[in-house]
């Protein structure tokens, strides 16, 4: 059979590119954003999808800077542009010139609704969060046995503290059957007494890839675990319902391993430092106590142990003698005071004495009040007079009395401040210190 033409990969790709780019220009496409990637170059790469298909999309730096909204996974948008073929991979993609938003996607709506419902029920409350062990001896890990997450976790543990025992429960982390396997794995680890903490981990992905961890059944399984759980799902920007229910959320699987494991070398240095401190402190204490022992060994107390007791007993006897003496003196003073009071009229007629005393006191207070009131009144009169004089000095009548006058337009009764306000044959009224003059303008000078 004769072959008419055999295409190379590059040739057939270029032919397909011509057909697509010539027939799909200036088109509008609607879809939901997923797998969003903001490149360091400023270009934006993502996929647009509906319930059945998805298509790759590129917004180059110049157009990306003109976007009037923030792109995020789950957002429903409409884009305008053309379809092209990326020749190195033989993939077709949409090159976007313009985009506008139409709202969040269905999965994000479901996510937000479930999040609010579980938060209302108290599954995210911090009072339910369990404390992590300081240095766990055995860790349970729930993840895919072939994913990058388990490799990252084991790498960190082996580097930081290889003595920790790890029990891996392999599960599907997405797709059909993944939810049941994850729940079953949590229950299995909760039945093993040696397990002190659990890590649930998987690598990053789109919201669809992570959706198993947004299911209500998973949330309740984590909530009901009596062993503390660390959620390490996706990348740093990915959030799932499991993250909110878990006792601690780690941004990545590697960080989850770092949270649980102490650096062995750091611990060794800390232990050595504490040992040095304890030895130094013990030697110092023994030395101090030995010095005290030698000091007391040569003291009177050590030779005559009852010397201190006898000395304190003597001191107490002296105190008692002083107290008795002072008490007797005070009784004698009170007795003499009582005898003197019996001789005074105060003792014989206390009512009359105290009435006279308070009557005289009231007279003195009444006099003081009157003097204070009079002084305050004089001060107010003086201040009032000063205020009146000050107001009078600003009075226009005072100014008029010095020979000045005020001119008004008549009959408008408007004060003339500028010659431009007056015109020839116009009537004016001139107010003097005493009386007023009506006049007519025959000439003005400006």
Check if the beta carbon of residue 232 is closer than 8 Å to that of residue 198. no
According to the model, what pLDDT value does residue 166 have?
A: 92
pLDDT score of 428 more than 90: no
Q: Is the pLDDT of residue 227 over 80?
A: yes
Q: 225: closest CA among 180, 249, 259, 189?
A: 189
Residue 300's pLDDT is: 58
pLDDT score at 315: 78
| Between 265 and 92, residue with greater pLDDT | 92
**Which residues is 167 bridged to in the sheet?**
140
Report the percentage of the chain scoring pLDDT > 90: 26
Question: Which tokens belong to 196?
Answer: 């002190």
Overall CATH class of domain 9-104: mainly beta
Q: Which two tokens stand for residue 79?
A: 């884009």
**Between 254 and 292, whose confidence is greater?**
254
The residue written with tokens 């580097």 in the block is: 159
Q: Give the span between the Cα atoms of 33 and 29, in whole angstroms.
A: 12
Report, as an integer, the average pLDDT of 276-301. Answer: 77
Q: Mean pLDDT throughout 218-241?
A: 89
CA distance 164 to 156: 11
| ω into 411 cis (within 30 of 0) | yes
The whole-angstrom separation of Cα 175 and Cα 129 is 29
- Whether residue 402 is predicted with pLDDT greater than 80 in this model: the reply is no
| CA atoms within 13 A of residue 161's CA, in its CB half-sphere | 20
Quote the pLDDT of residue 336.
80
Residue 310 has a pLDDT of 67
Q: Categorize the per-residue pLDDT at 303 as very low, low, confident or very high, splitting at 50, 70 and 90.
A: low
Decide: 423 and 446 in contact? Cβ < 8 Å: no
Using CA atoms, how far residue 106 sits from 55, 113, 165, 255, 308, in Å, is: 18, 11, 42, 31, 89
Dist CA 175 CA 172 (whole Å): 7
If we measure between CA atoms, which residue out of 13, 82, 1, 79 comes closest to residue 47? 79
Q: pTM for the full model?
A: 0.47
Which helix (H) or strand (E) element contains residue 312? Answer: helix 307-343
What would the two tokens of residue 100 be? 């506008």
Residue 57: closest CA among 88, 87, 30, 22: 30
Q: Counting Cβ atoms within 10 Å, is residue 284 exposed (0-12), middle (13-18) or buried (19+)?
A: exposed
Contacts of 26 (CB under 8 A, 6+ apart): 80, 81, 82
Residue 409, token pair as written in the block? 């337009």
Residue given tokens 């789950």 in the structure block: 74
**Residue 83's beta-bridge partner residues?**
94
Q: Is 103 left (phi over 0), alpha (psi -120 to 50) or beta?
A: left
Average pLDDT of every residue of the chain: 84
Gap between the Cα atoms of 248 and 229, Å rounded? 7
Q: Give the residue extent of every domain in the chain.
A: 9-104, 109-262, 400-440
Mean pLDDT value across residues 149-173:
89
**Helical H segments across 60-171, by residue range:** 61-64, 106-121, 148-160
422: cis peptide before it, omega within 30°? no
CA–chain centroid gap for 162, Å, is 37
Quickly name the fold that domain 109-262 has: Rossmann fold (3.40.50)
**Nearest partner of 242 among 263, 267, 282, 212, judged by Cα:** 212
What confidence score (pLDDT) does residue 302 get?
58
pLDDT given at position 350: 62
For residue 314, the SS3 value is: helix
pLDDT digits (tens, 9 = 90+) for 337-353: 777 766 655 555 666 66
171-206 tens-digit pLDDT: 999 888 999 999 999 999 999 999 999 999 998 777
| Between 297 and 52, the higher pLDDT residue | 52
Give mean pLDDT, residues 422-444: 82
- For residue 230, the number of C-alpha atoms closer than 13 Å in the C-beta half-sphere is 26
List, for residues 349-367, the tens digit of each pLDDT value: 666 666 777 788 888 888 8
């Amino acid at each position: 059979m004769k072959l008419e033409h055999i295409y190379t990969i590059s040739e057939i790709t270029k032919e397909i590119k011509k057909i697509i780019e010539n027939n799909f220009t200036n088109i509008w496409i609607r879809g939901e954003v997923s797998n969003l990637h903001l490149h360091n170059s400023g270009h934006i790469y993502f996929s647009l999808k509906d319930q059945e298909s998805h298509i790759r999309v590129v917004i180059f730096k110049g157009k990306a800077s003109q976007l009037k909204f923030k792109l995020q996974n789950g957002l429903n948008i409409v884009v305008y542009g053309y379809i092209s073929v990326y020749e190195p991979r033989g993939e077709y993609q949409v090159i976007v010139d313009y985009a506008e938003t139409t709202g969040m996607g269905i999965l994000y709506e479901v996510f937000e609704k479930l999040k609010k419902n579980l938060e209302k029920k108290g599954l995210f409350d911090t009072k339910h969060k369990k404390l992590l062990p300081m240095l766990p001896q055995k860790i349970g890990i729930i993840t895919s046995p072939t994913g990058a997450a388990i490799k990252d976790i084991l790498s960190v543990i082996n580097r930081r503290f290889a003595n920790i025992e790890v029990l891996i429960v392999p599960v599907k982390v997405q797709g059909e059957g993944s939810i049941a396997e994850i729940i079953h794995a949590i229950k299995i680890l909760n039945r093993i007494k040696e397990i002190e903490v659990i890590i649930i981990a998987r690598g990053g992905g789109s919201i669809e890839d992570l959706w198993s961890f947004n299911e209500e059944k998973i949330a309740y399984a984590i909530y009901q675990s009596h062993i503390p759980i660390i959620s390490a799902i996706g990348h740093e920007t990915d959030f799932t319902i499991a993250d909110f229910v878990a006792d601690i959320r780690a941004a990545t699987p590697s960080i989850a391993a770092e949270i649980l494991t102490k650096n062995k070398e750091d611990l060794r240095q800390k232990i050595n430092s504490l040992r040095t401190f304890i030895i130094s402190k013990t030697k110092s204490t023994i030395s101090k106590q030995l010095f005290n022992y030698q000091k007391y060994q040569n003291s009177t107390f050590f030779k005559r142990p009852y010397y201190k007791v006898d000395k304190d007993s003597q001191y107490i006897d002296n105190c008692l003698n002083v107290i008795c003496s002072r008490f007797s003196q005070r009784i004698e003073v009170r007795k003499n005071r009582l005898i003197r009071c019996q001789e005074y009229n105060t003792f014989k007629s206390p009512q009359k004495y105290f009435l006279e005393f308070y009557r005289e006191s009231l007279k003195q207070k009444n006099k003081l009040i009157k003097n204070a009131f009079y002084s305050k009144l004089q001060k107010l009169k003086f201040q009032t007079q000063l205020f009146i004089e000050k107001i009078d000095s600003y009075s226009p009548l005072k100014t008029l009395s010095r020979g000045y006058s005020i001119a008004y337009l008549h009959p408008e009764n408007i004060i003339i401040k500028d010659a431009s306000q007056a015109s020839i044959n116009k009537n004016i009224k001139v107010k003097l210190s005493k009386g007023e003059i009506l006049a007519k303008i025959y000439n003005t000078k400006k």
